[in-house]
């Protein structure tokens, strides 16, 4: 018999690890804030201990070994043999980080750098003042329960054993039962049992709490003496036990086929004597499926496959669309507003809205685990730059769509590193500015008007605008005479190619600039902005939609087609005057907008519906801004509406179509494409699109 360790078990183990690591980090945070109690230490210990226990079951030896070292040090802490100072705490946090890495590596089957673990093990040993544990005895802790000695030694024919067994009183107090031990022995071969009752005193002298029986057993078995002794493993020290191998098997010895039954008969009066009243409590007959009932009430949450949730979200999207269609048809027949159908429709609409909100909430998750990861980023960034930094998190229970959270990790990591690396001054500068040596980075999340706001603030010196401008000029990103407001200078940080070799440090030398972080946020329908005050610090604000399932869009018309443009991309709409439009090159056109020249692109032409109109008097220009500060004016024939649309992916059926992000179904049942302004600009203006952005027309 053997249970098969399926992927489900593994998956559930790794999910539990996530929870345990979160609990561990919660504990560390309380310790950092000096608000912990002894229970906090216990909780951290248990988290690491449970990871070790689970890892052992899956044979994840590296993880087990490190968790064991870590746990040993935590045990010293909880038993008061180790003082928690800043150094120890920092070490524990790094060990926690490494443990998280090991869990991730085990999950992904990725190799781990053993040097890190070895280094930390060394530091842990130093901290608790022990020599490295004896590997032999250490690994013994994690051996499966005993080896099968019979297998190892092979069956060498049967032997005859004499066993003298005298249980002490404590054996019975521990819930052990001689009859069951004998039953186990009887499974090894023919067993003869003799009871020696000569030690039982006269009734008047009988102490019912003491056993007075001695058993002499004769076993004929192929098992070794070790295996037989193993059967008495749990009663070791609670009985007198002598096992002797006799000369040769005696075929004449009497054996009892079913000794336990008769022995229980013998023992029953004894146990009655020590335990007045009925031994076995009455209970209801076992109901079918009781094993399953075990999980009942055990937790207020359930784990649901993400696919099911997404299917539900999709269906609710359909429901909302059908409701809108129905609503439109009923409007057409112009029923009075107090009509039953209209009233019913109104409540249907409300219900559909509530269901949609509720279903979206299923995908929503607190940002807390992501924030916890950031506290590690801050620690590492602090170590790499030699700065003392503290991360303060606020609003970590704010809930955001799971996918948004996952895709936000990279840009957020970059901005946090940036805040430590470039935002905070070194200790000396801070001291001379009258600031505490330890810098603070605040990471906060909040819901604001239907969006999620995530702010990364540092209390550093603020953006050095003169320097930023100088770098941008040197790189040719901005002309030397350009008239730039402070905000415009701050936004230069987001230009591709801004981050320079000169400022590449251990942290930022990754070939990723803030421009990439920003385009990642924009890909989620988000926006990034900066505010900075000299001497006081800088704040990066990320504003994100609550979900990726719907988006706020502008419904437009082009060449008889209805399309949707994401509202986040649109900066403004223009009704251009002929004088503001200038021809460029062979067949290009630009429009003057706020002292800059913006290339004009006809959506109808891009999609092959028509050739671009010559006169734009009856058209509207949508000024869109995309990744990397590119701008473009899209010609559309008219604007119909602005509203939330349900996003339906086309990629699974049609593959990726450049310039098309997805599709949606409109209230009248028609399908409209949601355009991808970024793709359109890339196609229409080529890679040169970004180069004209800051040239002044003036």
Partner 1 sequence: MTLRILAVDDSRTMRNLLSAALVQAGFDVHLAEDGEDGLQRLQEAAPDVVITDINMPRLDGFGFIEAIRGSHSNRNLPILVLTTESAPELKSRARAAGATGWIVKPFDEVKLVAAIERVAVARGEA
Nearest-approach distance from CB 290 to partner 1, in angstroms: 5
Contact 381, 507 (CB under 8 A): yes
Shorter beta-carbon distance to partner 1: residue 138 or 637:
138
Shorter beta-carbon distance to partner 1: residue 57 or 433:
57
Instruction: Identify the sign of the CA torsion 324, 328, 333, 335.
Output: positive
Shorter beta-carbon distance to partner 1: residue 92 or 182:
182
Residues that bind partner 1 (CB under 8 A): 1-3, 5, 9, 12-13, 16, 42-43, 45-46, 49-50, 52-54, 56-57, 59, 140-146, 172-177, 179-181, 183-184, 231, 233-234, 238, 264, 268, 271, 275, 277, 279-281, 283, 286, 290-291, 293-295, 298
C-alpha–C-alpha distance, residues 693 and 690, integer Å: 6
Number of other CB atoms surrounding residue 698 within 10 Å: 7
Shorter beta-carbon distance to partner 1: residue 39 or 354:
39
Nearest-approach distance from CB 188 to partner 1, in angstroms: 11
| CB proximity list for 493: less than 8 A, separation 6 or greater | 463, 468, 514, 530
Contact 685, 629 (CB under 8 A): no
Nearest-approach distance from CB 376 to partner 1, in angstroms: 24
Shorter beta-carbon distance to partner 1: residue 155 or 268:
268
Residue 154, burial from CB neighbour count under 10 angstroms (0-12, 13-18, 19+): exposed
Nearest-approach distance from CB 132 to partner 1, in angstroms: 18
Q: Give the length of the chain.
A: 698
Nearest-approach distance from CB 247 to partner 1, in angstroms: 29
Q: SS3 of 251, please? A: coil
Backbone phi, then psi, for 531, in 5-degree steps?
A: -130, 140
Residues in a beta bridge with 675: 660
Backbone phi, then psi, for 241, in 5-degree steps?
A: -135, 125
Shorter beta-carbon distance to partner 1: residue 131 or 282:
282
Nearest-approach distance from CB 169 to partner 1, in angstroms: 12
Shorter beta-carbon distance to partner 1: residue 209 or 350:
209
Nearest-approach distance from CB 81 to partner 1, in angstroms: 14
Nearest-approach distance from CB 97 to partner 1, in angstroms: 22
Nearest-approach distance from CB 347 to partner 1, in angstroms: 42
Relative to beta strand 239-245, strand 527-533 is unpaired
Nearest-approach distance from CB 209 to partner 1, in angstroms: 12
Shorter beta-carbon distance to partner 1: residue 17 or 645:
17
Q: SS3 of 509, please? A: coil
Nearest-approach distance from CB 280 to partner 1, in angstroms: 5
Shorter beta-carbon distance to partner 1: residue 279 or 446:
279
Nearest-approach distance from CB 163 to partner 1, in angstroms: 15
Shorter beta-carbon distance to partner 1: residue 184 or 692:
184
Backbone phi, then psi, for 448, in 5-degree steps?
A: -140, 125
Nearest-approach distance from CB 75 to partner 1, in angstroms: 10
Nearest-approach distance from CB 143 to partner 1, in angstroms: 7
C-alpha–C-alpha distance, residues 589 and 570, integer Å: 19
C-alpha–C-alpha distance, residues 620 and 108, integer Å: 51
Shorter beta-carbon distance to partner 1: residue 263 or 374:
263
C-alpha–C-alpha distance, residues 603 and 599, integer Å: 13
C-alpha–C-alpha distance, residues 621 and 210, integer Å: 99
Shorter beta-carbon distance to partner 1: residue 286 or 698:
286
Residues in a beta bridge with 692: none
| CB proximity list for 390: less than 8 A, separation 6 or greater | 32, 378, 438, 439, 440, 441
Nearest-approach distance from CB 269 to partner 1, in angstroms: 13
One-letter-per-residue 3-state SS of 14-64: HHHHHHHHHHHHHHHHHHHCCCCCHHHHHHHHHHHHHHHHHHHHCCCHHHH
Shorter beta-carbon distance to partner 1: residue 222 or 683:
222
C-alpha–C-alpha distance, residues 382 and 374, integer Å: 12
Shorter beta-carbon distance to partner 1: residue 80 or 277:
277
Shorter beta-carbon distance to partner 1: residue 35 or 298:
298
Contact 180, 258 (CB under 8 A): no
How far are the Cα atoms of 304, 314, 361, 662 from residue 309, in angstroms, in the given order? 7, 9, 10, 20
Nearest-approach distance from CB 175 to partner 1, in angstroms: 4
Number of other CB atoms surrounding residue 421 within 10 Å: 19
Shorter beta-carbon distance to partner 1: residue 126 or 148:
148
Residue 132, burial from CB neighbour count under 10 angstroms (0-12, 13-18, 19+): exposed
Backbone phi, then psi, for 507, in 5-degree steps?
A: -90, -45
C-alpha–C-alpha distance, residues 195 and 165, integer Å: 10
Residue 199, burial from CB neighbour count under 10 angstroms (0-12, 13-18, 19+): exposed
How far are the Cα atoms of 402, 413, 591, 695 from residue 478, in angstroms, in the given order? 39, 28, 20, 7
């Amino acid at each position: 018999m053997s249970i098969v360790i399926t992927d489900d078990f593994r998956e559930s183990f790794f999910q539990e690890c996530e929870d345990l690591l979160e609990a561990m980090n919660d504990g560390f945070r309380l310790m950092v804030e000096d608000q912990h109690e002894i229970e906090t230490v216990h909780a951290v210990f248990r988290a690491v201990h449970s990871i070790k226990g689970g890892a052992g079951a899956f044979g994840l030896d590296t993880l087990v070994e490190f968790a064991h070292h870590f746990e040993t040090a935590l045990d010293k802490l909880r038993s008061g043999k180790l003082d928690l100072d800043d150094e120890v705490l920092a070490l524990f946090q790094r060990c926690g980080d490494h443990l998280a890495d090991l869990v991730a590596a085990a999950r992904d089957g990725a190799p781990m750098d053993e040097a890190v673990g070895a280094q930390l093990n060394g530091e842990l040993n130093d901290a608790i003042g022990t020599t490295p544990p004896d590997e032999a005895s250490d690994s013994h802790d994690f051996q499966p329960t005993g080896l099968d000695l019979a297998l190892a030694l092979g069956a060498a024919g049967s032997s005859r054993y004499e066993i003298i067994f005298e249980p002490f009183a404590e054996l019975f107090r521990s819930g052990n039962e001689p009859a069951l031990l004998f039953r186990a022995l009887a499974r090894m071969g023919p067993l003869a049992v003799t009871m020696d009752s000569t030690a039982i005193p006269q009734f008047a002298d009988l102490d019912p709490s003491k056993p007075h029986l001695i058993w002499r057993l004769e076993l004929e078995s192929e098992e070794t003496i070790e295996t037989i002794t193993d059967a008495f493993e749990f009663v070791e020290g609670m009985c007198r036990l002598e096992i002797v191998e006799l000369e040769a098997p005696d075929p004449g010895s009497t054996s009892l086929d079913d000794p336990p039954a008769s022995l229980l008969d013998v023992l029953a009066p004894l146990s009655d004597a020590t335990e007045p009243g009925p031994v076995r409590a009455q209970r209801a007959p076992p109901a079918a499926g009781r094993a399953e009932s075990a999980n009942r009430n055990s937790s207020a949450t359930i784990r649901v496959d993400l696919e099911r949730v997404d299917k539900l979200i999709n269906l609710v999207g359909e429901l909302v669309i059908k409701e809108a269609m129905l609503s439109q048809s009923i409007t057409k027949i112009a029923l009075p507003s107090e009509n039953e159908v209209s009233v019913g429709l109104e409540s249907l609409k409300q219900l559909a809205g509530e269901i949609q909100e509720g279903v979206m909430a299923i995908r929503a998750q607190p940002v807390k685990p992501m924030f916890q990861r950031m506290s590690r980023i801050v620690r590492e960034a602090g170590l790499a730059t030699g700065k003392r930094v503290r991360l303060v998190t606020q609003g970590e229970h704010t809930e955001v769509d799971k996918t948004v959270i996952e895709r936000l990790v990279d840009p957020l990591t970059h901005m946090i590193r940036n805040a430590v690396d470039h935002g905070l001054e070194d200790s000396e500068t801070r001291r001379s500015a009258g600031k505490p040596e330890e810098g603070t980075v605040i990471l906060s999340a909040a819901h604001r008007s239907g969006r999620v706001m995530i702010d990364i603030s540092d209390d550093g010196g603020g953006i050095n605008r003169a320097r930023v401008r100088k770098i941008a000029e040197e790189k040719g990103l901005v002309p030397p005479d350009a008239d730039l407001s402070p905000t415009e200078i701050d936004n230069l940080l987001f230009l591709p190619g801004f981050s320079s070799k000169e400022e590449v440090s251990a942290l930022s030398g990754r070939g990723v600039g803030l421009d990439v972080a920003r385009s990642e946020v924009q890909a989620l329908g988000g926006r990034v902005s900066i505010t900075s005050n000299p001497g006081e610090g800088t704040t990066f604000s990320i504003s994100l939609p609550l979900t990726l399932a719907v988006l706020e869009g502008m419904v437009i018309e082009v060449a008889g087609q209805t399309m949707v443009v994401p509202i986040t991309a649109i900066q403004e709409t223009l009704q251009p005057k002929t004088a503001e439009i200038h021809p460029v090159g062979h067949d290009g056109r630009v429009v003057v907008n706020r002292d800059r020249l913006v290339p004009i692109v006809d959506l109808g032409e891009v999609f092959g519906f028509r050739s671009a109109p010559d006169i734009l008097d009856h058209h509207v220009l949508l000024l869109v801004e995309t990744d990397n500060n590119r701008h473009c004016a899209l010609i559309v024939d008219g604007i119909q509406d602005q509203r939330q649309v349900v996003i339906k992916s086309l990629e699974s059926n049609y593959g990726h179509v450049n310039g098309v992000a997805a599709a949606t179904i409109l209230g009248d049942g028609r399908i409209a494409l949601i355009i991808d302004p970024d793709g359109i600009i890339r196609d229409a203006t080529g890679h040169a699109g970004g180069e004209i952005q800051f040239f002044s027309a003036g």
